[in-house]
Amino acid sequence: MRHLNRVAKLNRSKSHRKALLQNLANALFEHERITTTSTRAMELKKVAERLITLAKRKDQHSMRLVFSMLRNKEIVKKLFADIADRYSATNGGYTRVLKIGNRKGDNAPMAMIELTLRKEKEGKKEKPKEAKEGGKPSKETTKEVEAKKEPKTKKEAKEKKEPKAKKEPKTKAEPKAKAEPKAKKETKAKKEAKAEKDDTSAPKEKKPRKKKEETKE
Helix, strand or coil, per DSSP, at residue 179: helix
| Distance in angstroms (rounded) separating the CA atoms of residues 45 and 113 | 8
Q: Which conformational region is residue 198 in: left (phi greater than 0), alpha (psi within -120 to 50 degrees), or beta?
A: alpha
Q: Where are the domains of the chain?
A: 14-115
| Distance in angstroms (rounded) separating the CA atoms of residues 145 and 22 | 53
Give how far Cα 174 sits from Cα of 41, 138, 161, 177, Å: 82, 57, 22, 5
pLDDT tens, position by position, 167-215: 555 555 455 555 455 555 556 667 777 776 666 555 556 666 665 555 5
Quote the pLDDT of residue 26: 97
CA angle 121, 126, 127 (to 5 degrees): 145
Question: Does pTM top 0.75 for this prediction?
Answer: no
Report CA 120 to chain centroid distance, whole Å: 27
Of the candidates 4, 113, 120, the residue with the CA atom closest to the CA atom of residue 49: 113
Which class does domain 14-115 fall in? alpha beta
Query: What strands lie across the sheet with 33-37, from one edge to the other?
Result: 33-37, 109-115, 95-102
Helix, strand or coil, per DSSP, at residue 112: strand
Give how far Cα 81 sits from Cα of 40, 84, 87, 148, Å: 27, 6, 11, 44
Q: What share of the chain is helix, strand, coil (3-state, %, to 5)?
A: 60, 10, 35
Average pLDDT for consecutive 10-residue bins of the chain (217 residues)? 90 96 97 96 96 96 97 96 94 95 96 91 53 50 59 58 54 51 60 68 60 53
| Distance in angstroms (rounded) separating the CA atoms of residues 83 and 52 | 8
| Distance in angstroms (rounded) separating the CA atoms of residues 193 and 122 | 94
